[in-house]
Amino acid sequence: MPLQKKFWKLLIGFCLVFLATFVIDHSLARAGDRVFMNVSLDFINEYKFPKQKFENTPVGGLSGLDYDRINDIFYAISDDRSEFAPARFYALKLKFSKTKEQPNLEKVEVVGVDFLKDKTGGTYPQGEIDPEGIALTGDRTVLISSEGVTSKGIPPFIDEFDLLTGKWVRSLPIPQRYLFEPKKDPNPNRRDLSKAEPQGVRDNLGFEALTIIRDSIGDPYRVFTVTENALAQDALSDQQQPSESRFLHYLVGNIAPLIVAEHRYPVEAMTPPVTQIGINDIVALDRGGHFLALERSNGGNGLSAKIWQIFTGDANDTSAIKSFRTSPNVRSIRKKLVLDLATLGIKLDNLEGMEIGPRLADGSRSLILVSDDNFSDNQFTQFLLFRLNRN
């Protein structure tokens, strides 16, 4: 065959392969886009909550938020480790303007406080709890997640408490791989255990995010949580790579709570000047695996946050994987950026709580964020109001 004909045949073949690859990649990209809902956020206004006390407790450290639609009351967990007052959560009344043209958040008022009780019936002593997440069950009870502080020996947990009395009801099971302890040395005859690899939640990087999906009262409900950052056995040495948290899905009813699935959640990488990043709260958008996730960061440019839409529907179950370091080909939860809060043009504080609230005067659904002031005079409790658009 003449060289000229060979050349043209090779060129045509290459073009066909390139075209096919482009079509496949483009189709996959479009298919990927279709897994997400059409969601956007419009920033409405900021409300700075004045520092104050309620029933002899300092109102601060607000790290999680949930909304009772029937009674139009918000509940906020304080992350006080029983240092300033016994571990507790507050009932809040948020007041919005009634004009369609300007549906602002005008005031936040504390209307109640409940102290959490441990299994003995007393309030938690200092250093035994690190409350970070809150979710109403619909059974006049509330789930509280304790983050886990390895340096102080505070274990992670997700426990159920009575909404009115704070009395302990029961615990959700926490897999052993989440509990911090050195892994057993595979060679029992080796005396040097200094190289034993740790496991479990890392210091202050356990359960902060917590949300519930329920169809109706009396039916079992689903609980979702995710570690703020990677477990010790999953953590990467290269911090500029996305870290990999673990996302847990529970089924809770009259029988013992059980874990339905676990998935890998890719937390955004820490690119300079960011030195700290993690997922602080999640809210469910529907029953099909769509959520909003709040990732808060800190670093040389101060505090910031991003809100992502995530999809869990086609993520692999990772409950049998001991370490993500040795399982790189796991299909993770998918993410799509909804809003970078650095673009709002306001100073952001330590945003940690997020919840879908009531409809505003213009008929749109609200989304509210709250910040944890760490009981510091140099920080403030910040409420941010957004319009949640879902098409």
Contacts of 200 (CB under 8 A, 6+ apart): 148, 150, 156, 177, 178, 179, 180, 181, 231, 232, 233
pLDDT in tens, the chain (391 residues): 554 544 445 444 444 433 343 333 333 334 456 899 999 999 999 999 999 999 999 999 999 999 999 999 999 999 999 999 999 999 999 999 998 888 999 999 999 999 999 999 999 999 899 999 999 999 999 999 999 888 888 999 999 999 999 999 999 999 999 998 755 555 655 445 445 678 999 999 999 999 999 987 778 999 999 999 999 999 987 766 778 999 999 999 988 999 999 999 999 998 889 999 999 999 999 999 999 999 999 999 999 999 999 999 999 999 999 999 988 789 999 999 999 999 999 999 999 999 999 999 999 999 999 999 999 999 999 999 999 998 7
- CA–CA separation, 8 vs 120, rounded Å? 83
Spatial separation of the C-alpha atoms in residues 227 and 246, rounded to whole Å: 6
Collapse the DSSP code of 16 into the 3-class scheme (helix H, G, I; strand E, B; otherwise coil) and give the result: helix
pLDDT for residue 240: 66
pTM above 0.85, yes or no: yes
* Residues 106 and 366: beta-carbon distance below 8 Å: no
Cα separation, 350 vs 298, in Å, equals: 9
Sketch out the chain's domains with CATH numbers. Answer: 42-185+192-390 (2.115.10)
What's the CA gap between 198 and 190, in Å, rounded?
A: 17
- One DSSP character per residue, 214-248 reads -SSTTS-EEEEEEESS--TTT--S-TTSPEEEEEE
Segment holding 5, helix H or strand E: helix 3-34
